[in-house]
Amino acid sequence: MATKVYNVKGMSCNHCKKTVTEAISRIPGVTGVEVDLGTGQVTVTFSGEPDDQKVREAVEEAGYEVA
């Protein structure tokens, strides 16, 4: 298992948190997602190697930006 922290821009409410969590959770191999609205940090746990490109794509499709 691996854990990686991403900085996501544009999140400001619980709806944002839910949207980002759901988008990233759909990525194969993701086992956990924790969003901290205060810092904009999203901690993602993977069953294997982190896939930064898939995380970036999921976040952008949800309407946010990985910093």
Q: Delineate the domains of the chain, giving CATH numbers in brackets.
A: 2-66 (3.30.70.100)
pLDDT level of residue 8 (50, 70, 90 thresholds) = very high
HSE on the CB side for 6, CA within 13 Å?
Answer: 28
For 12-54, write each residue's pLDDT tens digit.
999 999 999 999 999 999 999 999 999 999 999 999 999 999 9
pLDDT of residue 3: 96
Tell me if 19 sits within 8 A of 10, measured CB to CB: no
